[in-house]
């Protein structure tokens, strides 16, 4: 079967929301901050903004990536589709449209960190969790296209290396719902 990437439709909010919600519910260290309905609404907002690309097979959405300019806001794959190459396909698609990308991953999420490093991202900053609504320490990663078309390796600093070494293994993903809600409020006020 072939995986197809396409821009998300408004009707994809339910499926993408369910993928994100399942990640939150199935990840032991992840705070349970939102209901399924709130998560679907959040994904609907990202879709309305034109940020979301979905990966589908046989008309079933198996993963999605949300990108606002150079920032990857979310990358999630359905539980049954992990380790099938869908996350890599979504990330490669995002790279095609940019010379630089950045994202945040939770320090607990060692699996995501390995994936992003393998895909050419390098850690550039750490946070104690005060910058995200989950309150979890995280790491900023950056990918930069070299003139030759290969990613540039800028290298992590010692604090990033130390923080990455203390993390526990978990599935991929990171999202900041609070930022989107604040942006939506600002747009509604204008």
pLDDT digits (tens, 9 = 90+) for 39-92: 999 999 999 999 999 999 999 999 999 999 999 999 999 999 988 899 999 999
pLDDT mean across residues, the chain: 84
pLDDT digits (tens, 9 = 90+) for 2-48: 899 999 999 999 999 999 999 999 999 999 999 999 999 999 999 99
Q: Three-state SS for 142?
A: strand
Alpha-carbon span 28 to 181, nearest angstrom: 25
How far is it, in rounded angstroms, from Cα 116 to Cα 127?
17
Q: CB-based contacts of 29: which residues, under 8 Å, 6+ apart? A: 106, 108, 136, 168, 170
**What average pLDDT does the segment 142-156 reach?**
68
Prediction pTM value: 0.79
Helix (H) or strand (E) holding 44: helix 36-48
pLDDT value at position 151?
Answer: 52
- What is the C-alpha to C-alpha distance for residues 81 and 168, in angstroms, rounded to an integer? 22
Check residue 150 and give its pLDDT. Answer: 55
Q: Position of tokens 């990536």?
A: 65
Average pLDDT of span 109-121: 96
Q: All domains of the chain, ordered by start, with CATH?
A: 4-189 (3.40.630.30)
From CA 44, how far away is CA 162, in angstroms rounded? Answer: 37
Q: What is the DSSP string of 58-118?
A: TTEEEEEEEEETTEEEEEEE-GGGTTSSHHHHHHHHHHHT-SEEEEEEETT-HHHHHHHHH
The arithmetic mean of pLDDT across residues 144-156, rounded, is 64
Cβ-based neighbours of 116, under 8 Å, separated by 6 or more: 103, 105, 141
């Amino acid at each position: 079967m072939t995986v197809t990437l396409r821009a998300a439709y408004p009707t994809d909010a339910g499926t993408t929301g369910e993928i994100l919600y399942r990640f939150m519910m199935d990840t032991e260290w992840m705070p349970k901050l939102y209901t399924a309905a709130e998560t679907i609404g959040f994904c609907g907002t990202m879709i309305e903004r034109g940020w979301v690309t979905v990966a589908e097979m046989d008309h079933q959405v198996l993963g999605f990536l949300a990108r606002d300019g150079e920032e990857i806001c979310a990358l999630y794959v359905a539980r049954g589709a992990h380790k099938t190459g869908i996350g890599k396909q979504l990330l490669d698609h995002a790279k095609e449209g940019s010379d630089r990308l950045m994202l945040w991953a939770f320090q607990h999420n060692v699996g995501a960190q390995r994936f992003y490093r393998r895909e050419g991202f390098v850690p550039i900053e750490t946070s104690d969790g005060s910058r995200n609504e989950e309150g979890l320490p995280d790491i900023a990663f950056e990918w930069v296209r070299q003139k030759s078309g290969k990613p540039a390796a800028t290298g992590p600093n010692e604090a990033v290396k130390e923080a990455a070494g203390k993390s526990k293994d978990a599935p991929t993903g990171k999202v900041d719902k609070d930022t989107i809600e604040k942006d939506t409020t600002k747009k509604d006020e204008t």
